[in-house]
Amino acid sequence: MKLKIAVLAGDGIGPEITQQSIKILKAIGDRFDHEFEFEDAIVGAAAIDLLDNPLPEATLDLCKKSDAVLFGAIGHPKYDNNPDAKVRPEQGLLKLRKELGLYANIRPVTTYPKLIDQSPLRPERIQGADLTIFRELTGGIYFGEKSQSEDGQSATDVCTYSVVEIERMAHLAFKAAQQRRKKLTLVDKANVLETSRLWRKTVKKIAEEYQDVELDFLFVDNAAMQMILNPKQFDVILTENMFGDIISDEASVIGGSIGLLASASVGGNNAMFEPIHGSYPQATGKGIANPVASILSAAMLLDHFGLIEEGDVIRKAVATSIKLNVCTEDINKDNPYSTEKVGDFLEGLISESENNINDENLNFGQMTII
Ligand SMILES: NC(=O)c1ccc[n+]([C@@H]2O[C@H](COP(=O)([O-])OP(=O)(O)OC[C@H]3O[C@@H](n4cnc5c(N)ncnc54)[C@H](O)[C@@H]3O)[C@@H](O)[C@H]2O)c1
Ligand SMILES: CC(C)[C@H](C(=O)O)[C@@H](O)C(=O)O
Ligand SMILES: [Mg+2]
């Protein structure tokens, strides 16, 4: 297969982790005889520095004419620490998602046997946890009207959802649940928010088309607690933009590190693949960032184009590297490997014959079905 991939490495650790994913995709291309063409473009703080625009036209154009976007991370402390900054790196990412029509963000969470015992959570609670968060990505409070009063004494963020926005997300999440353990949990705040009541009403109606899927509801505050107390109760979680952002960072504790959590953003004519974590500025250039979230996002990219076996090869290699402790310091404190060394190890496994990849502890297969 021939694929044109736009690479938006971004800020902080973005470039160093994305470099590892490209290495892995090249190894997959060589092994399975695919032609992956990569083209770089700037985004985020790096783009503001150069052009005073977090999403330059040329970057957006490249993304639109590519088959997929591999996104690193954006964000810089000089904006995080300056609430008055008018142009911000995050605006680039939000605009990109909106312009590409990527309304669904899929964030799978799984556990690895080796990491269970070192988790701050009780092993018996997380062993075997396997859930996927379907986060709405182009609506809600993120995209509503924003304002500050002239005297600076008040500010507003409007949260709006339409039935159409909810329906299209719900269909994707129900379809995913049908292919998994047939359970869907809608996470909302319907006891307080009008938008959440619309979500509940709309999702209940859509559920009639998916009688084989068990539907339940949780308020987001309770869901945040349940995520830690009993994550095994979840199969597919469907939720709006901001709740999905928050509970997915929380869910990363189950897997062992946010440096392991990948995502696919889909719904438009093309698709984007991005780790759920940010630019981790403290780690920039130190070679300590975990590249696996980015590498597993690359695996989701392959799934997206039907290259399931190729995606599985990456996932198996990752499972093997974790089993053998070839990991960065977030999950291997005693004898950490660098970002690059982890990438090299995975590249080596992928380039070797299939038989050499040990998958005995692998507890998941294809991560996305879109
Ligand atoms: N998609 C994105 O580009 C994205 C996502 C989240 C945050 N951000 C931006 O990133 C900047 C920093 O935000 P933050 O500190 O809240 O979140 P962050 O995700 O960058 O880092 C939070 C913590 O998670 C851990 N971590 C993150 N990535 C890791 C990795 N690959 N390997 C190991 N550990 C990792 C580190 O302990 C870090 O201190 C901000 O500017 C924020 O806006 C961007
Ligand atoms: C950087 C920020 C805009 C982004 C979000 O909130 O969507 C990030 O936290 C994420 O999870 O991808
Ligand atoms: Mg986030």
Closest C-alpha to ligand 2, atom 5? 245
Ligand nearest to the CA of 142: 2
Last residue of a domain, one of 255, 287, 304: 255
Q: Which among 292, 243, 274 has a CA at the least distance from the CA of 134?
A: 243
Q: Is 258 in the pocket of ligand 2 (CB under 6 A)?
A: no
227 vs 247: CA distance, rounded Å: 8
Give the number of other CB atoms < 10 A from CB of residue 224. 17
Q: How far is the CA of 1 from the centre of ligand 1 (A)?
A: 33
Q: Which residues contact 75 (CB under 8 A, 6 or more apart)?
A: 10, 11, 12, 44, 45, 89, 90, 278, 279, 281
| 189 catalytically annotated | yes
Closest C-alpha to ligand 1, atom 38? 280
Q: How far is the CA of 249 from the centre of ligand 3 (A)?
A: 6
Are 310 and 32 spatial neighbours (Cβ–Cβ below 8 Å)? Answer: yes
- Of 103, 112, 142, 161, catalytic: 142
Query: pLDDT, tens digit, for every residue of 96-155?
Result: 999 999 999 999 999 999 999 889 999 999 999 999 999 999 999 999 999 999 999 999
Q: How far is the CA of 210 from the centre of ligand 2 (A)?
A: 30
Considering only the C-alpha atoms of the chain, give the largest distance between any 2 of them, rounded to a whole number of Å: 67
pLDDT > 50? residue 226: yes
State whether 86 and 60 are in the same domain. Answer: yes
Bind-site residues for Mg(2+): 221, 245, 249
Last residue of a domain, one of 225, 240, 255: 255
| 303 catalytically annotated | no
Exposure string of 259-291, with b = 16+ CB inside 10 Å and e = fewer, is: bbbbbbbbbbebbbbbbbbbbbbebbeebbbbb
Structure-token match 């690059």, residue found: 340
State whether 211 and 291 are in the same domain. Answer: no
pLDDT > 70? residue 236: yes
Q: What's residue 352's pLDDT?
A: 84
Q: How far is the CA of 80 from the centre of ligand 3 (A)?
A: 14
Domain assignment present for 109: no
Q: pLDDT band at residue 268, thresholds of 50, 70 and 90?
A: confident
CATH number of domain containing 251? 3.40.718.10
State whether 225 and 136 are in the same domain. Answer: yes
Please choose from 88, 277, 295 the residue to mutate so as to test ligand 1's pocket, defined by most ligand atoms within 8 A of CB.
Answer: 277
Domain that holds residue 235: 119-147+154-255
274 vs 215: CA distance, rounded Å: 28
* AA identity, residue 226: Q
When divided into structural domains, the chain yields a total of 2
State whether 238 and 320 are in the same domain. Answer: no
Nearest atom in ligand 1 to 281's CA: 12
Q: What is the DSSP letter of 2?
A: E
Last residue of a domain, one of 255, 274, 308: 255
Are 291 and 339 spatial neighbours (Cβ–Cβ below 8 Å)? Answer: yes
What would the 3-class secondary structure string for 199-223 be?
Answer: HHHHHHHHHCCCCCCEEEEEEHHHH
Query: pLDDT, tens digit, for every residue of 157-180?
Result: 999 999 999 999 999 999 999 999
Query: pLDDT, tens digit, for every residue of 286-336?
Result: 999 999 999 999 999 999 999 999 999 999 999 999 999 999 999 999 999
Nearest atom in ligand 1 to 274's CA: 1
